[in-house]
A and B are shown apart, each in its own frame.
Chain A
């Protein structure tokens, strides 16, 4: 039983790494723009498709395909931010409703272009197995963890040690005051959304080869990512990291004791419970942004 528990914790960590990657972009956009972007999962999915497309049709180099996916997704993110979220600034409800509309548009356009069948995205890194006690994980899974940690570190450094990062934090804390001290709030928002979009492309590019590339591939990670940032307190990098891993571990460990058809419900009972007991999340504070 102890061994089974330990194994499930490791499975949960691997699963959680994916949620962290999705949660980071979601959290950043929420923390700065106050947009709860339900379309983030659709962007992750689109990033997966773009990476697969670049890899199999343009250049057979995985790092360049990831870069290509990010570059191709950035204009999409720009259009969403300028065209939809910027005009709806401070209108929380309509931003969520608009982002639900965007999910429908993006997912179904992908269905029209690529069709409903899942695409296989074969990489050498998915074939190499790394033993880990009785468990074995593919190299790609460690790549997900590595990339996730690298993103966390880069984001942390950017927000805390660069001038623009300071401007981002200032905007997150108080957009009005940021404007007064001469920060170009519009530009901060645009750049933040661009980083969020790049994180989505990155997540999709890493997830695609691990499993399959298909139109609904972003739905599950979006819901779990959402759960993660709520658990961690919206708007904190460390909260998103801890929240993501926590959701992954709870989900995996719950299969030992709870009927597995309620596995998804478990994650949401946890969020509902956390929010009801601690309305600002498990690690959340009342301030809007903490790096």
Chain B
């Protein structure tokens, strides 16, 4: 009973506050569709993606919404859990574009699910803005309604191959997830490596596998100079632990999941020291836009910001910007037209879509220092010392 009274009291206060906060402004709501994963094996990356969307929506609404054609709109998110499945992705997309009638859909984690959603976006003329999946095919299909904020695996590979080439880490071997992210990463690197870098051993493992001993042995006996781990945090921590335990003298190269304080907690500074990883945005970089985002993220979620969150955060702002420029919150083709031409300076960098709908955000490489902090190595003009990565 007491908690009920407390809750109603709180509700009254909140209601009073919100009335006081936006006086006499008739607020309308725009519902934006989100496809992600909240359960199943993709729930962990899905959480970061959704954190980004929720933070962006909260900020937009906290500033009284956004204005289109003299009207103020608040953002609501309609989130569907599609479990990285093509059929469930199609269902969610169909529902969002017909039943929920959203003007734009954002998110997705899996390239295969995104590939099933893309044609429905085109059929129903609702732009789909991808913020995490990396399969190059998605934008190469030239579907006019598909946009991608994040770098695809070929773009990531191009930057990384450039970096690895400059370091002269040859031969380069891989341990990669046998899914779209892992295979896409290996194929992208294979195509982009400069001639001075030889491709070494490639070890694939299934999602859920935990024993990397035979890969570790093969990497050692192949004499690899560096090994790239294309996977996320959980297998990544196991793979590094096993590589370090076996004392294999290789340079470890990780993904954006591995350059975070969260990852440090899974292992320790001694085992991470010297490892490099690419990132969509280094959370501690001395840039105002990155710092501001990292602080807000940490204040809200109590942990260091994640690249997927930053990409998704920017994605929602890009969608809002497009609606403002198109002067509509309902007309899909007009919003699409605005997206195709807009330039937006986001947390991850400048977002401008090319003819295929692909943005070209910067790719960073950070390195673990001996004390558990990180520095920025790449791009060269962004290089910064320990504590900046």
Residues in A lying within 8 Å of B, measured CB to CB: 3-4, 7-8, 11-12, 14-15, 18, 111, 115-118, 120, 129, 134-136, 138, 210-212, 214, 216-217, 219-220, 251-252, 255-256, 259-261, 263-264
- State which of A3, A118, A252 has its C-beta within 8 Å of the C-beta of B213: A252
- State which of B203, B209, B214, B215 has its C-beta within 8 Å of the C-beta of A220: B209
Chain B residues with CB under 8 A of A120: 266
Closest chain A residue, CB of each to CB of B238: A211
Establish whether residues B203 and A260, one from each chain, have CB atoms under 8 Å apart when the complex forms: yes
15 A–B contacts, CB within 8 A, in A order:
A4-B217, A12-B214, A14-B213, A116-B40, A116-B43, A118-B234, A136-B246, A136-B247, A211-B211, A212-B234, A216-B41, A217-B208, A220-B208, A259-B202, A261-B178
Q: Is B204 an interface residue (CB 8 A)?
A: yes
Closest chain B residue, CB of each to CB of A126: B241
Closest Cβ–Cβ distance, residue A123 to chain B (whole Å): 13
How far apart sit A115 and B297, CA to CA, in the bound complex (Å)? 23
Establish whether residues B217 and A216, one from each chain, have CB atoms under 8 Å apart when the complex forms: no
Residues in B lying within 8 Å of A, measured CB to CB: 39-41, 43-44, 178, 183, 202-211, 213-215, 217-218, 220-221, 234, 238, 245-247, 266
Chain B residues with CB under 8 A of A210: 210
Closest Cβ–Cβ distance, residue A90 to chain B (whole Å): 34
Closest Cβ–Cβ distance, residue A96 to chain B (whole Å): 22
- State which of A3, A15, A134, A214 has its C-beta within 8 Å of the C-beta of B211: A15
Q: Given A118-B234, A212-B238, is A260 in contact with B202 using a C-beta cutoff of 8 Å?
A: yes
Establish whether residues A135 and B210, one from each chain, have CB atoms under 8 Å apart when the complex forms: no
Chain A residues with CB under 8 A of B183: 261
How far apart sit A238 and B166, CA to CA, in the bound complex (Å)? 55
Chain A residues with CB under 8 A of B220: 134
Establish whether residues B39 and A116, one from each chain, have CB atoms under 8 Å apart when the complex forms: yes
Establish whether residues B213 and A264, one from each chain, have CB atoms under 8 Å apart when the complex forms: no
- State which of B40, B43, B217 has its C-beta within 8 Å of the C-beta of A7: B217
Establish whether residues B221 and A4, one from each chain, have CB atoms under 8 Å apart when the complex forms: yes
Closest Cβ–Cβ distance, residue B37 to chain A (whole Å): 9
Establish whether residues A7 and B221, one from each chain, have CB atoms under 8 Å apart when the complex forms: yes
Establish whether residues A256 and B266, one from each chain, have CB atoms under 8 Å apart when the complex forms: no
Chain A residues with CB under 8 A of B206: 220, 264
Closest Cβ–Cβ distance, residue B265 to chain A (whole Å): 9
Q: Given A7-B217, A211-B210, A211-B238, is A255 in contact with B203 using a C-beta cutoff of 8 Å?
A: yes
How far apart sit A7 and B238, CA to CA, in the bound complex (Å)? 20
How far apart sit A230 and B204, CA to CA, in the bound complex (Å)? 26
How far apart sit A251 and B206, CA to CA, in the bound complex (Å)? 13
Establish whether residues B217 and A8, one from each chain, have CB atoms under 8 Å apart when the complex forms: yes
Chain B residues with CB under 8 A of A111: 39-40
Establish whether residues A260 and B213, one from each chain, have CB atoms under 8 Å apart when the complex forms: no
Chain A residues with CB under 8 A of B221: 3-4, 7
Establish whether residues A219 and B217, one from each chain, have CB atoms under 8 Å apart when the complex forms: no
Establish whether residues B218 and A256, one from each chain, have CB atoms under 8 Å apart when the complex forms: yes
How far apart sit A170 and B376, CA to CA, in the bound complex (Å)? 69
Closest chain B residue, CB of each to CB of A117: B44
Establish whether residues A260 and B205, one from each chain, have CB atoms under 8 Å apart when the complex forms: yes
Closest chain B residue, CB of each to CB of A138: B245
Closest Cβ–Cβ distance, residue B205 to chain A (whole Å): 7
How far apart sit A15 and B212, CA to CA, in the bound complex (Å)? 10
Chain B residues with CB under 8 A of A136: 245-247
How far apart sit A8 and B178, CA to CA, in the bound complex (Å)? 21
How far apart sit A256 and B374, CA to CA, in the bound complex (Å)? 36
Establish whether residues B214 and A255, one from each chain, have CB atoms under 8 Å apart when the complex forms: yes
How far apart sit A220 and B206, CA to CA, in the bound complex (Å)? 9
Chain A residues with CB under 8 A of B39: 111, 116
How far apart sit A210 and B238, CA to CA, in the bound complex (Å)? 10
How far apart sit A12 and B213, CA to CA, in the bound complex (Å)? 9
Closest Cβ–Cβ distance, residue A210 to chain B (whole Å): 8
How far apart sit A214 and B235, CA to CA, in the bound complex (Å)? 11
Of A3, A115, A135, A261, the most chain B CB neighbours within 10 A belong to A261
Q: Given A116-B44, A135-B246, A212-B238, is A11 in contact with B213 using a C-beta cutoff of 8 Å?
A: yes
Chain A residues with CB under 8 A of B208: 214, 216-217, 219-220
Closest Cβ–Cβ distance, residue A50 to chain B (whole Å): 19
Chain B residues with CB under 8 A of A3: 221
Establish whether residues A11 and B217, one from each chain, have CB atoms under 8 Å apart when the complex forms: yes
Chain A residues with CB under 8 A of B245: 129, 136, 138
Closest chain B residue, CB of each to CB of A134: B220
The 3 A-B pairs with the shortest beta carbon distances in the complex, nearest first, are A211-B210, A261-B204, A116-B43
